[in-house]
Structure 1
Amino acid sequence: MVRKLFVYSMLLVLAVGPVLAQNTEMPEKGFCAHRGAMATHPENTIPAILEAIRVGAQMIELDVQFSRDTAMVLMHDATVDRTTNGSGAVAELTLSELRSLDAGSWKDSRFSGTRIPVLEEVLDLMPRNIWLNIHLRGGQSLGSSVARLLEEKGRTHQAFLAVQEQSRLGARKASASILICNMERLSGGEDYVTTTIGMEANFIQLRGAIRNEFKDYTADLHRKGIKVNYFGTDEPEAFRTLFELGVDFPLVNDIAAAMEQAEKFGIRRIKPIY
């Protein structure tokens, strides 16, 4: 009897989980923690992600690429040299080799022993009401692998892939419901907006000098249901201008400082829902 109840309970969790996820209300506007709370914590690590969650970020950005044995690891650079105590290309190191490295001490001794995480670990700890901006550093195979993992984990309502053409093709082949941020910026102007609308992307990421044309761009994009990110600034006056021009989510390095400014712009800290 107990075993039957346990099995029934697990089936209920599996059935209800995706429904809860799909019905979760996602933030319409806010700040994106670039590589997690990278100003105060080692970028692209679990401590940086947990800190971004703690301070109430609406979106968290991270970078994913393949290890030599095709583990989906968090790392921005092509090599581990800058952010670990090791050296070498990520693509030439196995997950076991990557896990043996210290990915925290370079930032501060209190993070000594921090390991390079895999994407699955991040998905397992993420609240379901914070956007996850996953910048893919690879081609079709990486796109399809990440998209399949997001499907398996029931995270397609909140996770979107920041991609160029090849990883986008792989992702959409693996999952018709995957959310896409177009990173093929072309000139970064009107052609970027037009291409993003044409490919039916879900997000765009503007960058560079903040200019008045952004207002027209964001209006066109919003009419198509496309959310607008901007990379990147930590300046409060720039936040004000970006929000006035219609940008939804500026990427920031210092998420704690940005969240101190949030109320000025009608933005509330996210209370995590798991």
Structure 2
Amino acid sequence: MNRTINATWIVSLITLNLMLLTNVQAQQSKIEMPERGLCAHRGCMDTHPENTLPSLQEAARLGAQMIEFDIQLTKDSVMVLMHDDNVERTTTGKGNVSDLTYNYLRSLDAGVKKSEKFKGTLIPTFEEALAVLPQNVWLNCHLKGDQAVGKAAAAMLKKSGRLHQAFLTCSEKAGKAAKTQVPEVMICNGENSYRKNSATYVEATIKMKAEFIQLLRPQAGEDRSVLIKSLKDNHVKINFFYAEKAQELADLYKQGVNFILVNNVGALLPETEKLGIKTLKPVYKN
């Protein structure tokens, strides 16, 4: 009798979980993602400490269509947000992230070097960053590392229900590992070994069926029109790294770029409004 009750309870629990998961996926499928706009590079890094929760939250509040941040693993395999290999430039600590424990990193101040008003800001984990960001903004998750961080980041995106909006900008090794872990995870080809050769970069991105590419600034006189058409024909969204001035934006969008990485998103969002690109109204989880 007890075995029958337990079996029935387990089946009911599994059914409930599947229903909840289906409902979440259905809701996410209805979320309209932006087609063009600005990508806040490391959040609002001009006014806030880069790769911190205040920086990411400010970018979301302002209405950026995409937010980029950097992820790497600590010595004890915790995913944290940090661009540089070492922590000296942006925090009060010393040493390389890969040689430091999560507990040590959490003891550092990641805001005071930007401004006294950000004193006490912590280095966030990837999970913490995802928890405070909207559901309808693209999340450009730039991985520092290869297979280990690729697998871990893909698993975290699935766990947090962010697969509809987040993609991993990463090396080929990291991308393959991420796909092995979570086949449906979106990838932006960030393979540095050939990124400066636009033709090779585009060909490899299309071949691997990546959802995004992140083009670098072109060489003098370089014509990318054929390459961009090829990307469009293969449904690859185009990020561009990077623009500094408002005058650059219109021409980049005209060329076919979808999202432009900028360090001063707050100053440039009004300019994209003039170009007919609506500033995003962030939508959060209920």
Note whether the superposition's TM-score is higher than 0.5.
Answer: yes
Question: 1:188 is matched by which residue type in structure 2?
Answer: N
RMSD: 1.7
In the other structure, the counterpart of 1:22 is: 29
Name 2:101's counterpart in structure 1: 94
Counterpart of 2:214 in structure 1 is 205
8 Å CA contact 1:128, 1:273 repeated in 2: yes
- Alignment map for 1:177-216 (pairs within 5 Å): 177-184=184-191, 185-209=194-218, 213-216=223-226
- Out of 234, 239, 243, the residue aligned to residue 229 of structure 1 is 239
Provide the rounded CA distance (Å) in 1 between the counterparts of 2:103 and 2:72.
15
Deviation at 1:15, TM superposition (A): 4.1
Deviation (angstroms), 1:18 = 2.4
Partner of 1:271: 281
Q: TM-score w.r.t. structure 2 length?
A: 0.89
Unaligned runs of 5+ in 2: 1-14
Residue pair 1:188, 1:206 contacting (<8 A) in 2 also: no
Corresponding residue of 1:59:
66
Single out whichever of 136-145 and 201-210 deviates more from structure 2.
201-210
Identity, in percent, stands at 44
SS class of match (1:79): coil
Equivalence for 2:129: 122
Counterpart pick for 1:251 among 242, 250, 261 = 261
Deviations 1:183-233 (A, max 9, x none): 124443111111110110100011123766233222111111100000011
- 2:82 — aligned with what? 75
Distance 2:47 2:132 in 1: 20
The aligned counterpart of 2:252 is 242
Secondary structure of 2:268's aligned partner: helix
* Secondary structure in structure 2 of the residue aligned to 1:213: coil
1:123 positional shift: 1.2
Q: Does 1:131 align with 2:142?
A: no
Q: Is the 8 A contact 1:212 1:245 kept in 2?
A: no
Q: How does 1:41-56 map to 2 (within 5 A)?
A: 41-56=48-63
Tell me the matched-pair count: 267
How far has the Cα of 1:134 moved from its partner?
Answer: 0.5
Query: Are 2:195 and 2:216, in contact at CA under 8 Å, matched by a contact in 1?
Result: no
Residue identity opposite 1:79 in structure 2: N
1:113 counterpart = 2:123: no
1:220 aligns with 2:230: yes
SS in structure 2 of the partner of residue 132 of structure 1: strand
Report if the CA contact (8 A) 1:214-1:246 is conserved.
Answer: no
* Alignment-mate amino acid for residue 257 of structure 1: A
Q: Using a 3 Å threshold, how does the CA distance of structure 1 residues 167 and 11 change in structure 2: closer, same or farther?
A: closer
CA distance in 2, matches of 1:265, 1:9: 46
Which residue of structure 2 lines up, in the alignment, with residue 4 of structure 1? Answer: none
Structure 1 regions of 5+ residues with no counterpart?
Answer: 1-7
Which residue number corresponds to residue 160 of structure 1?
167
SS of residue in 1 equivalent to 2:224: helix
**Structure 1 residue 259: Cα displacement:** 0.6
Cα shift readout 1:158-184 (whole Å, capped 9, x = no counterpart): 000001121111101101101000112
For 1:113 and 1:186, locate their aligned partners in 2 and report how far apart those are by CA, in whole Å. 37
